[in-house]
């Protein structure tokens, strides 16, 4: 039976906030695929987390956001304290704007980077992490508590996104193109295994392939085909790095009927074969590490 990376079972609720030092639920040694969104905030100390094959160094007062589908592992060696804010997509999405924000937010993309909680735009004690924690832990009997927590969480994420965007070069994009590209990326996440051609996605979205190519180029600076390729490659790297599967099994998981076709595809866009990637990168970095799997 082919096994896959498992969603993390440690955060089953719609919203949960756990402290690193107080909970026994966190099994730090496992790699897991996020099926929800997270904010990792270090109150004191220093920690190094691994997020999608990247080392993220967090120190006191700094946080990082982990988006859905990213593979991560907590720091099991350093001494630190802090909190993990975890929330499900359906918990956050209470409006169409909420849904579009989660799909589009740079803070939840693969290029996760540390940010300072106290130096964000419009930062204040009333709207920061501390207030979110206090409201979550101390107002469970208040009938409006859930709405208050949701509002604080949203404000915090909006501020984090605004702070991050100030460091990037803004590109003017029409709302219609942004919505189209968001819907396209959602479809790619759902269907990239069986469909790797632009035509399928254009038909599903009710636009021409040319319109889709233009929208992705204007919005992301890359065409639709590149988005599909990037998705297949990152999933291939995740499987090769974390799943323990053979190259042949990874090829089948990604929808390649012939393993050799996967090897040619992977080599073309990464410069190395899957076998060399697994041997030179994975085996050297992940020797003696544990994994969490579930059968599929």
**Domains of the chain by range and CATH?**
3-165 (2.60.120), 177-285 (1.10.10.60)
Lowest-confidence segment of 104-113, 155-164, 220-229, 284-293 by average pLDDT: 284-293
Q: Buried b vs exposed e over 156-177: b needs ≥16 C-beta within 10 Å? A: bbbbbbebbeeeeeeeeeeeeb
Phi, psi of 244 (to 5 degrees): 80, 5
What was the pLDDT predicted at 234?
Answer: 92
What was the pLDDT predicted at 4?
Answer: 47
DSSP three-state, residue 294 = strand
Lowest-confidence segment of 148-157, 160-169, 285-294 by average pLDDT: 285-294
Lowest-confidence segment of 80-89, 174-183, 219-228 by average pLDDT: 174-183
Lowest-confidence segment of 120-129, 181-190, 202-211 by average pLDDT: 120-129
The answer to whether the beta carbons of residues 49 and 40 sit under 8 Å apart is yes
Of the candidates 230, 233, 235, the residue with the CA atom closest to the CA atom of residue 216: 230
Mean pLDDT of 164-175: 65
Q: What is the pLDDT of residues 242-278, one digit of tens each?
A: 888 899 999 999 999 999 999 999 999 999 999 999 8
Tell me the C-alpha distance between 254 and 269, whole Å.
15
Whether the model pTM is above 0.75: no
Q: DSSP states of 170-221 as a string?
A: -----HHHHHHHHHHHHHHHHHTTT--SHHHHHHHHTS-HHHHHHHHHHHHS
The answer to whether the beta carbons of residues 71 and 52 sit under 8 Å apart is yes
What was the pLDDT predicted at 167?
Answer: 73
Would you say residue 187 has pLDDT above 80? yes
Of the candidates 75, 77, 76, the residue with the CA atom closest to the CA atom of residue 58: 75
What was the pLDDT predicted at 290?
Answer: 46
More confident residue, 274 or 140: 274
What was the pLDDT predicted at 236?
Answer: 94
Q: DSSP states of 85-120 as a string?
A: EEE-HHHH-SSHHHHHHHHH-GGGSSS---EESTTS
Would you say residue 295 has pLDDT above 50? no
**Both tokens assigned to 153:** 């969480």
Q: What is the pLDDT of residues 17-46, one digit of tens each?
A: 888 876 555 566 677 888 889 999 998 999
What was the pLDDT predicted at 3?
Answer: 38
What was the pLDDT predicted at 200?
Answer: 95
The answer to whether the beta carbons of residues 14 and 89 sit under 8 Å apart is no
More confident residue, 121 or 20: 20
pLDDT class of 292 with cuts at 50, 70, 90: very low
Mean pLDDT of 215-225: 88
- From the CB of residue 226, how many other CB atoms can be counted at a distance below 10 Å? 15
What was the pLDDT predicted at 148?
Answer: 83
The answer to whether the beta carbons of residues 166 and 122 sit under 8 Å apart is no
More confident residue, 111 or 69: 69
Mean pLDDT of 48-70: 88
Strand 54-59 relative to strand 37-51, pairing:
antiparallel
DSSP three-state, residue 246 = coil
The answer to whether the beta carbons of residues 87 and 25 sit under 8 Å apart is no
The answer to whether the beta carbons of residues 152 and 127 sit under 8 Å apart is yes
In which residue are the tokens 């709207």 written?
127
pLDDT class of 139 with cuts at 50, 70, 90: low
Tell me the C-alpha distance between 73 and 49, whole Å.
6
Bridge partner residues of 65 (DSSP)? 39
Query: Count of H helices and E strands in the chain?
Result: 12, 10
pLDDT class of 11 with cuts at 50, 70, 90: low
Going 155 to 96 to 32 to 232, the CA torsion angle's sign is negative
pLDDT class of 221 with cuts at 50, 70, 90: confident
Bridge partner residues of 19 (DSSP)? 83
């Amino acid at each position: 039976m082919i096994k896959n990376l498992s969603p993390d079972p440690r955060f089953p609720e719609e919203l949960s906030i756990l402290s690193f030092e107080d909970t026994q639920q966190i099994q730090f040694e496992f790699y897991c695929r996020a099926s929800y969104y997270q904010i990792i905030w270090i109150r004191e100390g220093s920690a190094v987390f691994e997020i999608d094959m990247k080392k993220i160094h967090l120190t006191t007062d700094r946080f990082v956001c982990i988006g859905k589908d990213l593979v991560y592992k907590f720091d099991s060696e350093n001494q630190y304290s802090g909190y993990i804010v975890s929330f499900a997509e359906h918990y956050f999405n209470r409006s169409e704007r909420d849904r579009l924000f989660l799909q589009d937010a740079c803070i939840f993309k693969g290029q996760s980077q540390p940010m300072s909680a106290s130096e964000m735009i419009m930062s204040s004690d009333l709207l920061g992490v501390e207030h979110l924690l206090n409201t979550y832990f101390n107002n469970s009997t208040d009938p409006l508590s859930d709405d208050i927590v949701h509002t604080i969480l949203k404000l915090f994420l909006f501020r984090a996104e605004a702070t991050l965007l100030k460091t990037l070069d803004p590109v003017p994009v029409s709302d219609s193109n942004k919505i189209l590209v968001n819907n396209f990326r959602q479809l790619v996440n759902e269907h990239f295994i069986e469909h790797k051609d632009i035509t399928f996605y254009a038909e599903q979205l009710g636009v021409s392939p040319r319109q889709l190519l233009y929208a992705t180029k204007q919005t992301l600076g890359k065409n639709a085909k590149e988005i599909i390729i990037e998705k297949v490659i990152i999933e291939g790297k995740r499987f090769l790095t974390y799943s323990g599967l053979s190259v042949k099994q990874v090829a089948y998981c990604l929808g390649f009927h012939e393993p050799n076709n996967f090897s040619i595809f992977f080599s073309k866009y990464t410069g190395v074969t899957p076998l060399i990637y697994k041997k030179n990168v994975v085996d050297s970095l992940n020797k003696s590490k544990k994994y969490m799997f579930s059968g599929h």
